[in-house]
Amino acid sequence: MSRVTLLDSSNAPAASQPLLAQIQAAFQSTPNMFRAVANSPVALQSMWAAFGALGQGTLGAALGEKIAVAVANRNRCEYCLAAHTALGKAAGVTAADMQAAQSAESDDPRTAAALRFALRMVEQRAAVGEAEVQRLRDAGFDDGQIVEIIAHVALNLFTNYINVALDVPVDFPRVELRAAA
């Protein structure tokens, strides 16, 4: 049971209503996370804008979704794990690859480097060193893409915190959390 009211267009603040309409159009439904965040129009605007901006980034949807499941798994956010696994599959990622990403694993060295870096960001509260950034460069990421990886981590921390703190009910097919390595 959510710790805040899950709003819709009939009871959301006026400033949240146009954003909820955009979200409804994008998903063909309004996921519970956005219904919870709609309690704060500025938080909803921030979250939705960040998703939109990062969706236009250079990392691509598949890597963005893999970062999301790695961060969600580490933070034990069942909502984001379920949502981003579904979105990853919709982006063409196999179920096996999404499951591997939960533990920052990938057969692709570039993807594995990004996922390991994302988890180090979470585990170390962003206190990563030059060597970790250099490993991303060595894997083929430029400075803009490194910043973009960090932005994905930050957005996913925001969504994980919303869903865990507010106990938002999962409305995507459930995915089993994996034990941390």
Q: Please tell me the distance from the alpha carbon of residue 77 to that of residue 161, in angstroms, as a whole number.
A: 8
Per-residue model confidence as pLDDT tens for the chain (181 residues): 999 999 999 999 999 999 999 999 999 999 999 999 999 999 999 999 999 999 999 999 999 999 999 999 999 999 999 999 999 999 999 999 999 999 999 999 999 999 999 999 999 999 999 999 999 999 999 999 999 999 999 999 999 999 999 999 999 999 999 987 6
List every span in the chain annotated with CATH 1.20.1290.10.
61-165
Q: HSE-up of 82 (CA within 13 Å, CB side)?
A: 16
d(CA 69, CA 93): 12
**Considering the entire predicted model, what is its pTM?**
0.96
Classified by CATH at the fold level, domain 61-165 comes out as AhpD-like (1.20.1290)
